[in-house]
Structure 1
Amino acid sequence: MSKDIQQVVVSLVKDLAPRNRDIISRRFGLKNGKKETLESIGQGYGITRERVRQIEEFALKQLSKSVFTNSGVANYVNWARDLIDSKGGVVKEKNLFKSFSGQEADTSANASLLFVLSVDGSLARSPENDEFNAFWSSNSEKLNSFKNTMALLTKALEKNSGVVPAGDLPSFAKNNSIDNLDTCLSVSKTISKNIFDEVGLVSWPEVKPRGVKDKAYLVLKKAKSPKHFGDIAKLINEVSFSNKKANVQTVHNELIKDGRFVLVGRGMYALSEWGYSSGTVKDVLVNILKKSQKPLAKASLVAKVMDARMVKENTILLNLQDSKTFSKKEDGTYTLRKA
């Protein structure tokens, strides 16, 4: 089907003035798939960018009047409409190209399809921008509805405050009244899947980790338990974020500097969001007793410290023997010694 579209394009543009025909061909990349800018075309003709834009606009208006008598145009438009409808009314442009020519790239055949659909004008196109990849819809109403769905998905993810595992996506979409989820994910530039097949916002480090510290955060969060910095480096390399291997010392340095990580034992790091506390064992004991409204029993203190740090019970008990800091009452409970 893609082979015959060149003939349809020739039949469409044959009545245009030579310069107008050349400008249209270069703007759409009809010869080789490579679109040219208004400026580069203008330089070749010695005219302004604005003048090139006016000529392009005029030529397209001319062409739009002739599409109704061109059966070849109708065939390609109907094919595209059927494909779009089969995808729920919206399809990413590169997926449309792939179905048409077998390639997503900007080839002459794909450029010709884009040209034919643009001249016809009955299908709605959303050009590529910072939020979306280019996509097509069956009509402008469906296009705007899809954009609203994309906004709804973004808000739902923000409200969720975390990534959604792939297996939970159907129920997540249903609970938030989101249709065309697969198309949303393919079209969006702000929503994506991470290396663990979890969906979230691209701005989140769990989705698009930037640098070693974000990679460490992602693998540690996935591990769900404290790890030695050497093991964290190993996990980063096992996941294979890129061909570049993570250096153990670099990982350790980032863990030390980043407030998302807490040293909870000898070389052992946890996420601060898990409730672990930084500082020495004595610091942790002091903070626990400061927050307590009453003296605490030894067993209670030991349990609370172990929730915050990975230490042995004997280490905690040794710190409690610091009589300058802690006071043991007659009933065996502990408080902070008053200054």
Structure 2
Amino acid sequence: MSTLNNNIKGVVLKVLKVLNTRNRDIISRRFGLKDGKRETLESIGQSYGITRERVRQIENASMKQIKGNLEAGLASLVEPYVNLAGSILEEHGGVMREEDLFQRFSGLGGNTPVNAALVFFLDLNSDFVREADDEGYHQFWSLNEAQSNSVKKALGSFAKAFSKKGVITESEVVNFYNKNVAAKDTAPKFVASLLSISKQIGRNSFGQVGLTSWPEIKPRGVRDMAYLVLKRDNKPRHFREIAELINDQPGWDKKANVQTVHNELIKDKRFVLVGRGLYALKEWGFKAGTVKDVIKDIIKSSSNPLSKNEIVNQVLSHRMVKENTVMLSLQDQKSFTKNNDGTYSLREA
């Protein structure tokens, strides 16, 4: 990798030699060729006492001058790096998120002089297309304009398909894409590139894929994380255990306070208290309220009075309590009437 770093920096210096000192500095700063950090037109203009528009004009004229010089004989120095990037893109279906392309090209995904040099070289080539960061996708590169347009269309169709399906596992993604978006079988690396590029589709720490607007995929706070870990665990948990499950999740940097978790569970209607400190998801069929409230709902929804066993069994399917707790609640004569045949009805007001 050090050989690549030294070689590409040397090629950059040779390519920039055609420019005068000021223009060379402007191009270097615009692309971040010295330290990997791109500078704005505004900051460069201020340092030279010229307008943003003038900096833009100098940049465009300088790039045109460099392209002319490449055609005159320096192209062979740049081509190996451009061809390498092209091969990497082809391997991934002709498109990659910029950060991923950097990682494959230089071994580093961030803003470095080597990655800046790659952007500089690709920008000198009219075939490659760089799509800027957008609300629907991260900045990405494609082999040509047609490929870029095709990818943007595919990203929209992919997200739409997820909105109809729901969360799936990572192992299902390629088949899901082929069935709902592609007209033919698609290479897994291309689908992986789409997932990386998209801002609308994401993965969670459990290896599930879906829309980033869903709390199962991109939890936005403690209550969403509580929902996610509880749904994954698939059984009621004490609020202290839920806090522990949250804190054990990889990629979750915020420490979940036990009391905060408890407060969120109380406030959020997705959760139901089903026992002493035990919470379940409402979508599992558990009912909110006291045991007495649950009994009332059960009897009310029945067309006939219910036996003790019928009531106990139904309550235990909704709440994690002891049978004696149900029996104690049934003894409330202000709420329930025990009939001659041993069944129970609601006491009329």
Q: 2:83 aligns with which of 78, 84, 92?
A: 78
Give how far 1:209 is off: 2.5
Match of 1:117 in 2: 122
Tell me how far apart the structure 1 counterparts of residues 179 and 299 of structure 2 sit (CA, whole Å). 43
Q: What code does the residue aligned with 2:51 have? A: T
Aligned to 1:300: 310
User: Which residue of 1 is the match for residue 45 of structure 2?
Assistant: 42
Aligned partner of residue 209 in structure 1, secondary structure = coil
What is the DSSP-based 3-state SS (H/G/I as helix, E as strand, rest coil) of the residue aligned with 1:231? helix
State the SS of the aligned residue for 2:345: strand
Quick one: structure 1 residues 213 and 186, their matched pair in 2 at CA, closer, same or farther if it must change by over 3 Å? Answer: same
Deviates more, 1:236-245 or 1:150-159: 236-245
Q: Does 2:149 match 1:144?
A: yes
How many angstroms apart in 1 are the aligned matches of 2:13 and 2:135? 34
Q: Report the equivalent of 2:172.
A: 168
> Quick one: percent identity of the two aligned structures?
52
Task: Give 1:11 shift.
Answer: 4.2
Instruction: Give the structure 1 partner of residue 196 of structure 2.
Output: 186
Q: Match for 2:289 among 279, 289, 292?
A: 279
Shift of 1:66: 4.4
Q: 2: distance between equivalents of 1:107 and 1:242?
A: 27
Which SS does the other structure have where 1:4 is aligned? Answer: helix
Q: Is the 8 A contact 2:161 2:181 kept in 1?
A: no
Question: In the alignment, is the contact (CA less than 8 A) between 2:18 and 2:69 conserved in 1?
Answer: no
Single out whichever of 325-334 and 267-276 deviates more from structure 2.
Answer: 325-334
User: Do 2:136 and 2:199's aligned partners in 1 also have CA atoms closer than 8 Å?
Assistant: yes
The amino acid of 1:166's aligned partner reads: E
Counterpart Cα distance in 1 of 2:173 and 2:88: 24
Deviates more, 1:97-106 or 1:325-334: 325-334
Change in CA separation of 1:247 and 1:77 when aligned onto 2, cut-off 3 Å: closer
2:262 matches 1:259: no
Report SS of the residue matched to 1:279.
coil
CA 1:177–1:229 in structure 2 vs 1: closer, same or farther (change >3 Å)? same
TM-score normalized by structure 2? 0.87
Query: Could you say what the CA RMSD is over the residues aligned between the two structures, in angstroms?
Result: 2.4
Map 1:121-140 to 2 at 5 A.
Answer: 121-140=126-145
Which of 225, 241, 265 is equivalent to 1:231?
241
Q: Deviations over 1:283-316 (max 9, x none)?
A: 1122223333444444333332222211223322
Q: Which amino acid aligns with 1:199?
A: V
Structure 1 residue 219 displacement after superposition: 1.4
Deviates more, 1:314-323 or 1:114-123: 314-323
Q: Aligned partner of 2:113: which letter? A: S
Q: Which residue of 2 aligns with 1:205?
A: 215
| 1:21-76 Cα shifts (integer Å, max 9, x gaps) | 32222101122222111111010111122222232223333434444442233333
Deviation at 1:280, TM superposition (A): 0.8
Query: Aligned partners of 2:226, 2:123: CA distance in 1, in Å?
Result: 47
Equivalent position of 1:16 in the other structure:
19
CA distance change for structure 1 residues 107 and 244 in 2, over 3 Å: closer, same or farther?
A: closer
Listed as ranges, the matches of 1:102-113 within 5 Å are 102-113=107-118
Render the CA deviation track for 1:156-186: whole Å, top value 9, x for unaligned.
222223x322233333333323542211222
Structure 1: any 5+ residue segments left out of the alignment?
none
Deviations 1:81-140 (A, max 9, x none): 222111111122223223332322322222111111101121111122333222211111
Which of 99, 102, 112 is the matching residue for 2:104? Answer: 99
AA matched with 2:249: V
Confirm whether residue 27 of structure 1 aligns to residue 30 of structure 2: yes
Distance 1:138 1:109 in 2: 20
Check 1:244–1:78 CA distance in 2 against 1; reply closer, same or farther (3 A cut). closer
Displacement of 1:190:
3.3
Q: Is contact 2:18–2:66 with CA below 8 Å preserved after alignment?
A: no
Match of 1:5 in 2: 8
Mapped partners of 1:174, 1:299: distance in 2? 51
> 2:331 & 2:70 partners in 1: Cα distance?
91
Cα distance in 2 between the residues matched to 1:329 and 1:168: 55
Q: CA deviation at 1:329?
A: 4.3
For residues 217-258 of structure 1, the C-alpha deviation after alignment (integer angstroms, 9 at most, x for no partner) is 221111101111122222223335546543322322221122
- 1:276 positional shift: 0.9
- Mapped to 1, the partners of 2:135 and 2:309 lie a distance apart of 56
Q: Distance in 2 between matches of 1:245 and 1:10?
A: 48
| Residues 161 and 180 in structure 2, CA contact (< 8 A), matched pair in contact too | yes
